[in-house]
Amino acid sequence: MAGKITVSVIKADVGSVCGHTRPHPSMMEKCGEFLADGVKKKTLVDYYVTRVGDDINLLMTHRNGEDAKEVHKLAWDAFMAAADLAKEMHLYGAGQDLLSDAFSGNIRGAGPGSAEMEFEERPTEPIMFFMADKTEPSAYSLPLSRIYLDPFTTTGLVIDARAKKGFDFEIHDVMDNKKVVMSSPEETLSILSLLGDTTRYAVKRVFSRSGIGTAAVVSTDKLNLTAGKYVGKDDPVCVVRAQSGLPSVGEYLQPFMDTMLVAGWMRGSHYGAFYPCAVDDSDPTYFDGPPRVCCLGFQLRDGRFQGLEPRDAKPGDHRPMDFFKGSEWDLVRRNSVKASKMVRGHGPFMPAILGPGEMEYTSRPAVLKELVRRFEKLD
């Protein structure tokens, strides 16, 4: 079928079992019921409900474009219903990411994270969903830089004529609400000069410079700023299109074989190493982490998701590729635990904890207030 398709991922933590761990299956089922109804009413073409750690991720396709009110409302209603179930079951953090009581027309600014891209579906369209828990959007900056800027990671940048034309990066200043578009390969070093500051800059989108359209999009809705105070790291998603002039599936996965420290983890206030794993293995188990990253893959088929399920499966009924499931990732998982344990040795000292501006929890202002009379000027 011709015409543009929109892939939208909307995600939220609306409660989990025994701390900030894993949504109850009934919450995921409830979301599925809402999205199935969305297909019936033709708001959606297809969907898949999944999760990473305590975050429910709604993967959706439709023909309503980005920022479509009806799609955002559907996701909002699904999360509200899941939160109601969580409240009824006295689960932990029930409704925590739903920052208002009523839907105001767009999910952005309301608590959930979103990443959406509209594009012309190619005759064969591999698409991948990276989903992270206990971390923030700039956690993707290092791997995305390797994927789109580094020929020692993506050989395609050297030997695929279309990839060699380079990529445009839309970079967000998440503190000042500004954006800038920069072009690789010409501006590669300047792009890295910004992205190296993970407290301020994050990649929002990457565009092909050979006419393929959007290659990647990241959810960058900083929950802490949305709420006017720190109420949770975003636990971001990143959607990418692969192959034929874009990085290949394997080139996208390769950077995750290296151990990367990311901000978040316990109380959103620590550095820990990314732990790539299967969705089923994404429960935070060690010090509320380490920060998990999962990756699911599908083909698109006229706007429908096609995984390993039968060709005539119902919408929503999918079996995606689960890329970090295999034993080849055991090495980096072990390294992640080792690196995280090493950092933990610092307890509440930097660099185990984040800088003062980034801590999700802090008692410092209260402590300083108590000490205001006791602090004396040095001679």
- Report what 19 binds from Mg ion, ligand F6R, none; CB cut-off 5-8 Å by kind: ligand F6R
> Six-digit token pair at 261?
């420290």
Site for ligand F6R in 115-134 (CB under 6 A): 134
Q: Footprint of ligand F6R on residues 216-255 (CB under 6 A)?
A: 232-233
Residues 193, 212: Cα–Cα separation, whole Å: 27
Minimum Å gap between C-beta 167 and ligand F6R is 31
**Rounded CA separation 290/287 (Å):** 7
Least distance between ligand F6R and beta carbon 67 (Å): 27
In terms of CB distance, is 55 or 160 closer to Mg ion? 55
What are the residues whose beta carbons fall under 8 Å from the beta carbon of 266, sequence distance 6 or more? 134, 272, 287, 288, 289
Nearer to ligand F6R, 95 or 320 (CB): 95
Q: Which does 266 bind (CB under 5 to 8 A by kind): ligand F6R, Mg ion, none?
A: ligand F6R
Query: Which among 252-260, 266-274, 298-306, 310-318 is the span making contact with ligand F6R, rule CB under 6 A?
Result: 266-274
Is 289:306 a contact under the CB 8 Å cutoff?
no
The residue (of 54 and 360) whose beta carbon lies closer to Mg ion is 54
Residues in CB range of 287: below 8 A, 6 or more apart = 265, 266, 270, 272, 340, 344
By the rule CB under 6 A, 288 interacts with ligand F6R: yes
Q: Does 268 bind ligand F6R (CB under 6 A)?
A: yes
- 318 vs 307: CA distance, rounded Å: 6
Q: What residues from 29 to 48 belong to the interface with ligand F6R (CB under 6 A)?
A: none
Tokens 């609306």 found at: 14
For ligand F6R, the closer CB: 74 or 223: 223
Within residues 27-56, the interface with Mg ion by CB under 5 A covers: 53-55
Question: Cα-flanking dihedrals φ and ψ of residue 266, to 5°?
Answer: -55, 130
By annotation, the residues acting in catalysis are 13, 230, 233
Cβ count near 125 (within 10 Å): 21
Backbone phi, then psi, for 10, in 5-degree steps? -125, 130
| Contacted entry of Mg ion, ligand F6R, none for residue 55, CB cut-off 5 to 8 Å set by kind | Mg ion
Residue 315 binds ligand F6R (CB under 6 A): no
Taking alpha carbons only, the member of 14, 114, 136 closest to residue 59 is: 114
Q: 356 is in the binding site of which of ligand F6R, Mg ion, none (Cβ under 5 to 8 A by kind)?
A: none
CA distance 166 to 257: 23
Nearer to ligand F6R, 216 or 279 (CB): 279
Nearest distance, CB of residue 90 and Mg ion, angstroms = 17
What's the rounded Cα separation, in Å, for the pair 259 and 341? 13
Query: Does residue 234 interact with Mg ion by CB under 5 A?
Result: no
Judged on CB neighbours under 10 Å (0-12, 13-18, 19+), 200 is middle
* Helix ranges, 110-151 (H): 141-149
From 348, 294, 288, select the one nearest 320 (Cα to Cα).
Answer: 294
Under rule CB under 6 A, residue 353 binds ligand F6R: no
Of residues 197, 214, 265, the one with CA closest to residue 8: 214
Residue selected from 20, 22, 204, 333 as contacting Mg ion according to rule CB under 5 A? 20
CA 295 to chain centre: 10
Interface with ligand F6R includes 267 (CB under 6 A)? Answer: yes
- Which one of residues 9, 13, 83, 206 is an interface residue with Mg ion (CB under 5 A)? 13
Least distance between Mg ion and beta carbon 97 (Å)? 8
- For residue 225, the minimal CB distance to Mg ion (Å) is 17
CA–CA distance, 256 with 258 (Å, rounded to integer): 5
Q: Pick the binder of ligand F6R from 60, 131, 266, 352 (CB under 6 A).
A: 266
- Residue (135 or 243) nearer to ligand F6R, CB: 135
- Residues of this chain that interact with ligand F6R (CB under 6 A) are 19-20, 134, 232-233, 266-268, 288
Give residues in contact with Mg ion (CB under 5 A): 13, 20, 53-55, 133, 235
